[in-house]
């Protein structure tokens, strides 16, 4: 079998096994939540008979093991269950969890994609330039700005941007409310501040890791040889250092892209953005357990998939890892 294909299949198997373990952890965590879910949905005025009937209807009278296998078998068929909190009563209309997660996930991917399109090229460019002009004023200035950005929590950066760019100078809007029928340019204007917040957070980390990877390779013997041959500094980085730096850079990019999808919860809550992170926070406050399970599984699957892609890129780009002795 082709080594690349074998490596991809091995990593896919490992990713599926990891996702299975994560699904068990999610179910155990849900089971350990305090309080009565049925009473939280029906309200404190519900009678014990009504609560017991509701528990039987949604399966809470079964054992945790049975509930887990019913849930995971439904997930394998693409059925994440029904949202009971959206009903509010036994006679209410219950929405499918997949129907609730789908549009919210697209919104989160739209926000993450906009941030990634800005952050990835910008961080790579700043990292290359900082490595090329190491210890210069530009390098020191970029490091100071990146350290300041890394040290600041997302919500703090978000509120600072709101104060200056939405309140004092009303260039953008503070509430990132979007609708499916909104024009594309209006959507971009609405998500400008959350996108800028995410860019400030992840550019600093990716830039510093790119700079460190390039500087580490610049001390290699083959880099010294290319310099002795008279190669220009930019040519040394682009033709000799960069191909060997793709592995660590790919890992950093994958981890930060995973953060854009998984760790965007705080930013979505601050800007009331209708993404999957905001949906999960609302579901936790309403004790809508099927929605919490579905969102957590989507987050875990996204994180595992992006790390899987980073591992594959790392192995394929490094022949020593692709053909171990």
Residue 87 pLDDT: 52
Give Cα separations from 157 to 177, 266, 276 (angstroms): 19, 11, 21
Terminal Cα distance for the chain, rounded: 17
Residue 128 pLDDT: 83
Q: Which regions of the chain are under pLDDT 70?
A: 1-4, 35-36, 85-93, 317-325
Give Cα separations from 259 to 19, 128, 270, 282 (angstroms): 17, 23, 16, 20
Question: What's domain 101-285's architecture?
Answer: Orthogonal Bundle (1.10)
Q: pLDDT tens digits for 20-38?
A: 898 899 888 877 777 667 7
Q: pLDDT tens digits for 192-236?
A: 999 999 998 888 888 888 888 888 877 778 877 887 888 787 777
* Boundaries of every domain in the chain: 101-285
- Pairing type for strands 82-83 and 95-96 reads antiparallel
**Average pLDDT in the chain:** 83
Q: What are residue 82's DSSP bridge partners?
A: 96
Which residue has 């040889």 as its token pair?
225
| Rounded distance between C-alpha atoms, residue 219 and residue 131, angstroms | 12
């Amino acid at each position: 079998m082709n080594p690349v294909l074998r490596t991809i299949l091995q990593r896919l198997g490992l990713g599926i096994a990891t996702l299975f373990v994560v699904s068990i952890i999610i179910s155990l965590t849900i089971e350990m939540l305090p309080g009565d879910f049925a009473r939280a949905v029906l309200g404190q005025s519900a009678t014990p008979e009504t609560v017991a009937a509701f528990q039987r209807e949604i399966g809470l009278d079964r054992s945790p093991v049975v509930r887990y296998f019913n849930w995971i078998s439904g997930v394998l068929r693409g059925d994440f269950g029904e949202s009971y909190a959206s009903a509010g009563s036994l006679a209410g209309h219950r929405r499918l969890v997949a129907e609730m997660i789908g549009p919210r996930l697209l919104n989160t991917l739209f926000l993450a994609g906009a941030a990634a399109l800005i952050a990835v090229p910008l961080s790579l460019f700043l990292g290359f330039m900082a490595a090329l002009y190491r210890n210069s004023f530009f390098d020191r200035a970029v490091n100071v700005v990146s350290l300041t950005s890394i040290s600041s929590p997302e919500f703090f950066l978000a509120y600072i941007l709101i104060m200056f760019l939405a309140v004092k100078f009303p260039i953008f809007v503070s509430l990132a409310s979007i609708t499916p029928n909104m024009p594309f340019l209006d959507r971009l204007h609405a998500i400008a501040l959350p996108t800028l917040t995410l860019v400030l957070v992840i550019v600093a980390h990716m830039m510093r890791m790119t700079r460190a990877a390039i500087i580490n390779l610049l001390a290699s013997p083959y880099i010294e040889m290319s310099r002795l041959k008279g190669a220009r500094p930019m040519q040394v980085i682009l033709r000799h250092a960069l191909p060997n730096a793709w592995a660590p850079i790919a890992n950093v990019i994958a981890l930060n892209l995973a953060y854009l999808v998984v760790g965007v919860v705080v930013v979505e809550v601050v800007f009331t953005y209708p993404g999957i992170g905001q949906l999960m926070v609302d579901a936790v406050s309403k004790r809508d357990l099927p929605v919490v399970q579905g969102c957590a599984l989507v987050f875990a699957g996204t994180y595992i998939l992006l790390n899987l892609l980073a591992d594959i890129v790392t192995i394929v780009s490094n022949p020593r890892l692709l053909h171990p002795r």
